[in-house]
Structure formats: structure tokens, C-alpha cells
Chains A and B, each alone.
Chain A
Amino acid sequence: MTEVPEHLLKRAQAARDRAAGGDADTSTAAADASATADDGPKIPPHLLERSKSARQQADSGAAVATAAPAGGGAVATAAPPPVASGPGGHTQRLLTVVKSGSIQDVKLKPMDKVHVWPHLLIVEFGAALACLTFTLIFSIFVNAPLLELANFNETPNPSKAPWYFLGLQELLTMFHPMVAGVTIPGIGIFLLILAPYIDRNPSNKPEDRKFGISLMTVHLMFWAVLVMIGSFFRGPGFNFIFPWADGLFFEL
């Protein structure tokens, strides 16, 4: 929220106190308006006087104005400018305060925002630098695998897909290839795409969407566990092994 300046808060408080002291039942705006409408005596006496004299002047001015067309250019001098007679010599007064949102429809509430430069760009730069440093140092110490030349006559045992497809390959051990390779991932991707249209819950608060979060967590864990089993717990012949007993059959 934006900070309301202190002097405005004070002024508002003073006005509220005054309203509470003058009328006991001024909680609604309508009541307030009706109260001021039939409270004739509330208009300060000096203003009443001023308007009375102005009305008199206008009457005499009208008489002059009807006579004026014959006299030509004398009209401009007929009505003298109003004399400053308000408190402190003011010639105008505050009629009403229009609160924001009462006439215009305020669609965007003011938000606490910060400049992208420097606040966001610094964070992005730091993250990019950390990522680059990690990749560089990791690449210095760990080499990408390059096995011997591709040979169609020698099938390695086990043959594994890239790690992100090992969940699918794991499914292959349980289902017909069409189910494991096409139907299940197809339905998964289809549901993923449709997620925002299936989930009609408008809230983004975790406590309001326990079901959605649970469902997604189960889904993600399902694939994560399959990928991990396929990566680390499958050995020769794609049989189940324990990596600590039979060694690792996994290349990135």
C-alpha cells in the first residue's frame, strides 16, 4: 500500500471528529448529504450575506444590462469583480471532496512496485553469473561422455534412453509399447496442457488448493520415481538391480 502523508491523516481525523461532534448519526454518506441539505443554518453567516448582496447586485446589474445595448461598450464595466469577503480574504471555497473510485472506476489498485533497474537486473545478473560459474567449473572437472564409435552390430547391455525418457522406458517393462510410449505420455501432456481449464478454483493460495497441489505432487513424484528407477536401479537386460551392489549403469 502507498503511504498516506501524515498531515492528510491528521486532517482527516480532525474532520471525522468534527462530524462525530456535530451529528451522532453520520455513518453513511446518504445520511451525511441529507443532513447538510436541510441544515440551512449551517451555512456560515458571512457567506449568506455575500450571496444576498450578490443577488441584489445582479438585479441592479440586469437593469443596467437591459439598458446597455444602446450605450454600446459600457457592459464590461457594469458588473464589478466580486469582492473578497471570505475568511482570510478567499474568493473561493471548497464545495466537495470527490474520493477516488466514486466517479472513475479504479480497476488497478496501486501496488508496491520497484524499478527494474537496479533491483531486478541485479538479481538476474547474479543468478546468470552463478549459473555460468557452476556450469564452467563443473565442465572443467567432469567430462561429457564420449564412448566408442557407433556400432550397429554391438548392442550395449543395457541400452538406455536419455534420462528424461527413462520413465517411459520404465513403463515399457510394464505395458504394451503403444500404451507406455504413446498413450500414457500423450494423456499426461494433454492433461498438463488442459490444467488451467480443468482447475476452476480461482485461488492461488496453497491452503485453498490442497487437492490440486496433492494431485500435481503425486504426478511429479510418479515420473521422478520412474526416472530414478530407470536410471539407477536397472542393469543388464533392464533387470532390477541395486546400484550399491551391482554398480551404476547410467550415462548422462
Chain B
Amino acid sequence: MPKKQPLSERMSQSASQLTDQVQSSQAWNSIFRPGSIFRKGYNDSPRNRSYVVMNSVLYHLHPVKVKRHAVKVSYTLCLGGLSFFLFILLTVTGIFLMFFYRPTAAQAWDDIYTLQTSVTFGLLVRNMHRWAAHLMVLSVFLHMARVFYHGAYKAPREFNWVIGVILLQLTLLLSFTGYLLPWDQLALWAVTVGTNMMGYTPVFGEQVRFVLLGGVEIGTDTLLRWYVLHVLMLPFVIVIFMAIHFWRVRKDGGISGPL
């Protein structure tokens, strides 16, 4: 009688057999396009390295190759990428918060309070949303400083700098509109100070203020307006500008430098 193989060997054998079967199946190969590291027989070749980027919806924002200095953390400090990552993080945590929030003066504060005290992970997610928002303002600002100090706004990247300044202002507006939503003393009076300043815009200052507040003073209509601005309109606009921003980075020949 032949000697039986040890259990561990048999298990690893059947596991690799199973992997083989799964990776050979039509379903698997229909999901993972050529070059995916999950495909059968992936090996580290220049061709596959290119396929990984080209054949992935997530990665194909990137070119297949970038300048060697572009991957150095000390050059970009990852600030632009981190701003985008923080935006995604804010979107995810923001969607979670939307499930528990009603933008009316009567309910907003109570909803936030209930979220913090009775919803699993509610407090944590709200904290993350708030801190990530402040971080994003900071990282967008630092990204702008980095780009300036590298002279990266010079030809042919002038227009992308303009888009970037617009993105900075949209970021500030997103943060500011979100500031009112908790409907606590901090939110109300910070926004009062901010919108009073807008009222001093020459010629149409009063009208701007009226449209933004949905009345002559902050109230439940303001809350609804800023809520819609915060969760729908401004994200919609900023995503369009981000798309142009990223597209122009590649059209203008990748990131700038080396110095």
C-alpha cells in the first residue's frame, strides 16, 4: 500500500488545484482583463506591467510609465493625490452621515446628537468626516504651494493652475457649506460671520446674501440650501473640475520637473 502524503501537502495540492480551476473559468477571465495580477499565469513582465494600468478602470487615470523623479515622495509629497483621496474618504463618510440627517432647523441638531450617541460608529464616522475635511483644505492649500515653488504652473501648465485655483475655492466652499449643517452655536455664528462679509459685495451683495440664505437671515431654508449645495451641487461641480484637472496633467506631459 502506497504511503499517504502528509495532510498539509495534500491540502496545499488541492488548494492550488482549486485556484487553477477558478482562474481558468470563463467567469473569472471575463472579470479580470489581461494583465490583471489575479489572472492565471501573471508574471512580472514589461508587457503585463503596462496591461495592469491600461486594463484597470481604477488605475488607467495614470499613464503606463512616468518620469522616474515623479515617483519620488520628496518631489510631490503626495499632496495632490492625498487631496483626491481625502475627497473620496469624505464622499464615503458623507454618504454614511446622510442616512441619519435631516436638514431642517427642528431636526438637524437632534439627528447629529442621536448619530453620536445611538448609531454604531456614528461618532467615529462623523469625526472622520470633520477631520478629513479640515485636512483636505490643508492639503489642497499645501498642494498649491508645492506647485508654485516647483514652478509647475509655467507653460504648458498655465491653464491647469487656473483650474487648480478654482478647485481650491470649491474646496473652501464645500467645507464652509458643511460647517452649517450640525446646526449648533458654532455652526450658526461662524456662518453668520461668513455670510455677513458676502453681503458687502458691491452692487449685488444683498442679492447674493439673500439667495444663499434663502431669506434675509439664517434659518431652516438656509439649512436646506446649504445641504443641497454641500451634498450634491458642489461635489458635482468639483468632480467635473477634478476630471479636467487630472486630464490636463496628462495632456500637459505628466507632472512637472525635474528641477
Contacts and interface: CB of A to CB of B under 8 A. Distances in A.
Interface stretch (A23-31, A34-42, A76-84, A108-116): A108-116
A209 to B, nearest CB: 6
Contact of A161 (B59, B153, B193): B193
Contacts of A119: 66, 71
B201 A114 contact: no
Given A115-B49, A151-B185, A165 B194 contact: yes
B197 A172 contact: yes
Given A131-B85, A149-B184, A154-B185, A139 B124 contact: yes
B43 interface: no
Nearest to B105: A150
User: A interface, how many residues as a size bin?
Assistant: 35 or more
Chain B interface size range: 35 or more
A169 B188 CA distance: 16
Contact of A120 (B46, B50, B71, B179): B71
A146 B67 CA distance: 47
A144 B126 contact: yes
Interface in B61-82: 62-68, 70-71, 73, 78, 81-82
Nearest to B180: A150
B155 A113 contact: no
Contact of A204 (B59, B112, B187, B257): B257
B72 to A, nearest CB: 8
B176 interface: yes
A115 B89 contact: no
Contacts of A143: 123, 127
Interface stretch (B9-17, B143-151, B241-249): B143-151
A11 interface: no
Interface in B107-162: 109, 112-113, 116, 123-124, 126-132, 134-135, 137, 145, 148-155, 157-158, 161-162
